[in-house]
Structure 1
Amino acid sequence: MWGKVLGALFGLALLKLPGLILGVLLGHLADQWFARKFADWRGLAAMSGSDDEQALFMYSTFAVMGHLAKATGIVTKAHIEQANLFMQQLGLSARQQREAQAAFRDGKAVNFPLRAQVNEFYYCYRRRPDVLQLFLEIQLSIACTGGKMVAGQRELLWQIADILQIPRATLEQLLRAYQARSGSQPTEHTSTEQRLVAAYQVLGCDSTVTDLQLKRAYRKLMAQHHPDKLMSQGVPAAMLDVAKRRSQDIQAAYEVIKQYRAKNH
């Protein structure tokens, strides 16, 4: 349905009545394409409670991942391993992993309709900003494969954030937090200063914030990633593990900062 609605609006804006007719036709084709894709996702939909909304979440996640991987010019073995690792972390069965891999391949296709796919996702979850942000956070795992991101991937992330109505400044903060979490596993060579810098980045704060501001930032992030809240907003059960791990990272970062401040204030 949304394909026809969006096509009609864009067509009307660009070419008036002829554009409206053309937009409806193209939107109808897009709706049929999406319907065929979701019909194949019975395994993932069943895992998510046979909910078309949650099937849309799962399909969009892996298809957009594939498109982001392709933006490097070539999908490397590291990209595929990262995607497969993510599937395993979600606890997908063998059948569900095959379906996720099929969505990933769809995303790699030259003619993959990224804007239409993300628009479909946005209109489904547009009143649930925490879900939109979680979706964007998940995409960072494939964009940052190997610890680096090419310009084409950053531009795609900007496009995705724009469609989801997430400010680019928020995207950049999420990227810094993701990079801090990815490299925040302490070793014997990790200094206290390095741990603090990473912890503040995870919480999206700088070291000048007051204790009260720090607590507010912490509570806000914890609320955004609370599994029960996200499940009630339509996030598939399998994806809740992402939110749980994010919550653990937020909790750990907050504890690092609290302990440092307690000792030095």
Structure 2
Amino acid sequence: MGNFTKWLGAGLGFTFGGPIGAAIGFAIGSFVDGFSEDEFKQEQIDYKKERRNNRNHSNTKSGDFEMSLLVLSSIVIKSDGRIDQRELDFVRTHFVNMYGKERANSAFKLFNGIIKKQISARQVCIQIREHMSHASRLQLLHFLFGIAKADEFVTENEVEEIRKISGYLYINQNDFESIKAMFYNSSDAAYKILEITKSATDEEVKKAYRRMAKKYHPDKVQDLGEEHVKGAKEKFQNIQSAYEKIKKERGL
């Protein structure tokens, strides 16, 4: 058990406490015999003492994003009243692609415990937004829409749950609709991705592209590690594709 908590502690910062830490403690207790949430809390106390002695730690680490993702994913997957295997497979595949098989397997052990616990999305999001950058929160939202789309049938409950999470994370409606449009085909999807309407002038289209390219540039999440830069590149490519589509339509 010691090695497992050391693995956690090595990659966690702000999530090693609060409602996210409580969910992690519950998850560990669900698959480790004789381990209680109180013991995990003691691990948290010991780890926080180490952090206070290390002035150079960053506020948000790669593991913070990882744990935030696991907790929010469990909330979205359960929002339609069932747990779909395709959604679970999406989470596992995404984690393998980002972190490698060994780390992903450890994370998924946690996930199987976290998904059994009732978690307050609002409390978790308050903890996240106090410590995580806006660019990282946008990345979380992007992944959650991917989960909702994984079973090829998006329910209104799933969309509304992600909308609530978006609000709790202080992500505005325009950003929410922009990321949502990256996953759902519609006649005006390219315009929604750039946060403009079809009535926008050619100059407004160009300005919107420059603004969105800056907002979603992969460098914004570079502090979280290369594994998260790869995910950010997907969003960035969606912005570029939307702009190219509009240019082609307008003959720009």
d(CA) in 2 for partners of 1:160 and 1:133?
11
The aligned residue for residue 239 of structure 2 is 250
d(CA) in 2 for partners of 1:246 and 1:118?
22
- Structure 2 counterpart of 1:32, one-letter code: K
The alpha-carbon deviation at position 169 of structure 1 amounts to 5.1
SS at match of 2:196: coil
After TM superposition, the score normalised by the length of structure 2 is: 0.70
d(CA) in 2 for partners of 1:110 and 1:143?
20
- Structure 2 counterpart of 1:146, one-letter code: D
The aligned residue for residue 238 of structure 1 is 227
> Do the aligned residues in 1 keep the contact of 2:135 with 2:220 (CA within 8 Å)?
no
* CA deviation vs aligned residue, 1:102-139 (integer Å, no higher than 9, x gap): 343244123334333222211102xx322222222221
The aligned residue for residue 25 of structure 2 is none
- Structure 2 counterpart of 1:138, one-letter code: F
For structure 1, the residue ranges without an aligned partner over 5 or more in a row are 5-28, 40-49, 181-193
SS at match of 1:119: helix
After TM superposition, the score normalised by the length of structure 1 is: 0.67
Q: Give the number of aligned pairs.
A: 208
The aligned residue for residue 123 of structure 1 is 130
SS at match of 2:131: helix
The aligned residue for residue 105 of structure 2 is 98
Distance 1:106 1:113, change over 3 A: farther
The alpha-carbon deviation at position 209 of structure 1 amounts to 0.8
The aligned residue for residue 189 of structure 1 is none
The aligned residue for residue 224 of structure 1 is 215
d(CA) in 1 for partners of 2:197 and 2:124?
36
> Do the aligned residues in 1 keep the contact of 2:135 with 2:216 (CA within 8 Å)?
yes
The aligned residue for residue 88 of structure 2 is 80
Distance 1:252 1:151, change over 3 A: closer
- Structure 1 counterpart of 2:198, one-letter code: S
> Do the aligned residues in 1 keep the contact of 2:84 with 2:151 (CA within 8 Å)?
no
d(CA) in 2 for partners of 1:34 and 1:85?
29
d(CA) in 1 for partners of 2:190 and 2:89?
28
d(CA) in 1 for partners of 2:190 and 2:42?
43
The alpha-carbon deviation at position 252 of structure 1 amounts to 1.9
Distance 1:33 1:237, change over 3 A: farther
Among 108, 115, 118, the alignment partner of 1:108 is: 115
d(CA) in 2 for partners of 1:198 and 1:113?
32
Q: Does 1:174 align with 2:179?
A: yes
Give the 5 Å matches for 1:1-265.
Answer: 3=18, 32=41, 35=44, 53-54=60-61, 55-90=63-98, 92-125=99-132, 128-168=133-173, 170-180=175-185, 197-231=188-222, 234-262=223-251
d(CA) in 2 for partners of 1:204 and 1:175?
11
The alpha-carbon deviation at position 96 of structure 1 amounts to 1.0
Alpha-carbon RMSD across the aligned residues, in angstroms, is 3.1
- Structure 1 counterpart of 2:68, one-letter code: S
The alpha-carbon deviation at position 223 of structure 1 amounts to 1.0
More helix by share: 1
- Structure 2 counterpart of 1:121, one-letter code: I
* CA deviation vs aligned residue, 1:57-112 (integer Å, no higher than 9, x gap): 1111122112211222221111112112212332x222211122134324412333
